Amino acid sequence: MIEQKIVEPEYLFFQADREEVFITGSEALKEAIKRANVDMAISYPITPQSESMHLVGDLYVEGYVREYFRGENEFAVMSAVAGASMGGVRVFTATGGPGTLRAFEIFPAWAGARVPVVCAFMTRGVNSPLSIQPDTIEMAFMLHTGIVMFHAETAQDLYDMLLKAFVIAEKPDVHIPVGVFADGFFVTHTREKVKIDPAEIKLPPYNPYSSPVPVMDMENVPVRHMRDPFVMKSNFISYAAHASWQQEILAAAERARKHIHKYLGGLVETENEEAEILIIASGTAVSQSREAIALACQEGLNAGLVKIKSIRPFPEEEIRKLTQKAKAVIVPEFNRVGWLCKEIKSVVEDNTKVVGGPRVFGGMTMPPHLILAEIRRCSQ
């Protein structure tokens, strides 16, 4: 293994001198994992994620990751990841699109087992006819799996969120998986300036003995396994056990809020939040919204921006407060179902002022003029 100095997370995140480099989102992921003190990475290729885990494999060769192998398929990978995490190691993987759906059964199992896995999701279309192009529809499926969900706008976000995800996931009062979502190709394959920490430093190792659920190693009785599992019973005790455990997973995600505030600076970021017209977006839709707002400003139109960084837990109170005085709320999305718009409508007091769109999907880009057209319409 390459010798790196272990530093406190706060130093790595906020104090270390950073170097600005011109890299892709996939390369930003590699740089994050290089400093994450990962014990094991397990991969299976799928566009647009393939390059990311290929680069993590290079880190294994270079001595920055202790163990690395390729699974038989996405379901096998996510199952192996669960086993590794239960065994007490810090583990990382990535997937996207159809890979996410093929492995879907395992994600709520991760949450139910309280494993602090970090997974990068490079989102893409999953519909027929086949598309490998950018689309965030898979995030709609993931909303109720019990995992914490961050959505990166840029490669810089991807780098920062991945490193901070390990720390948040492993907090004893959280200790559930964290998914960091990035829009495929728009983030993964686009070069931009990213500020990265020195390669000589890394996060402290994962301490599995701080877990709220005992690690399964040679020093502990495997208490996760039950001789007479609840699933085999049809009685009140079985129902109550399942219900209370699901509530605890939801509570763990809620307890993550304070850590998200500490490390990510909050669940949302705002620009000109007092404007009568607000655009609320996540991922690369934020970048397009920012361009549209600049164009609107040239026309004398006033619009503000709310960038959502955490999808789960969702910033209900922040959104409710920010939208109280707004005349209109525009929600641009890179998917056809409008899952973010539905989330926002569920918390806004007067949801008739929420505009669902513009939406593009199937790999289409979102010209800022589409959002500008909505700003013009809402300004009338």
The stretch 326-339 carries a mean pLDDT of 97
91's enclosing H/E stretch is: strand 91-95
- Tokens 């718009």 correspond to 341
How much of the chain, in percent, has pLDDT values that exceed 70? 96
Domain 268-379, second-level architecture:
3-Layer(aba) Sandwich (3.40)
- pLDDT of 349-363, one tens digit each? 999 999 999 999 988
The reply to whether 268-379 shares the fold of 5-210 is: yes
Q: What angle do CA 349, 351, 354 make, to 5 degrees?
A: 130
CATH number for the domain running over 5-210: 3.40.50.970
- pLDDT of 130-146, one tens digit each? 889 999 999 999 999 99
Is the bond preceding 358 in cis, omega lying within 30 degrees of 0? yes
DSSP count for the chain of H helices, then E strands:
13, 16
Q: Which pair of tokens denotes residue 355?
A: 């505009």
Residue 319 has pLDDT above 60, yes or no: yes
307's enclosing H/E stretch is: strand 303-308
The stretch 223-239 carries a mean pLDDT of 65
Burial class (CB in 10 A: 0-12, 13-18, 19+), 374: buried
Sequence-separated contacts (24+) of 320-325 with Cβ below 8 Å? 320/347, 320/348, 320/349, 322/268, 322/270, 322/273, 322/278, 323/278, 323/280, 323/348, 323/349, 323/353, 324/349, 325/274, 325/276
- pLDDT of 250-295, one tens digit each? 999 999 999 999 999 999 999 999 999 999 999 999 999 999 999 9
- Domain extent listing, the chain: 5-210, 268-379
The stretch 222-241 carries a mean pLDDT of 66
Q: Which residues pair with 268 in a beta bridge?
A: 308
Residue 231 has pLDDT above 80, yes or no: no
Residue 3 has pLDDT above 90, yes or no: yes
Residue 336 has pLDDT above 80, yes or no: yes
Please report the pLDDT score of residue 242 as a whole number: 81
Distance CA 218, CA 134 (A): 44
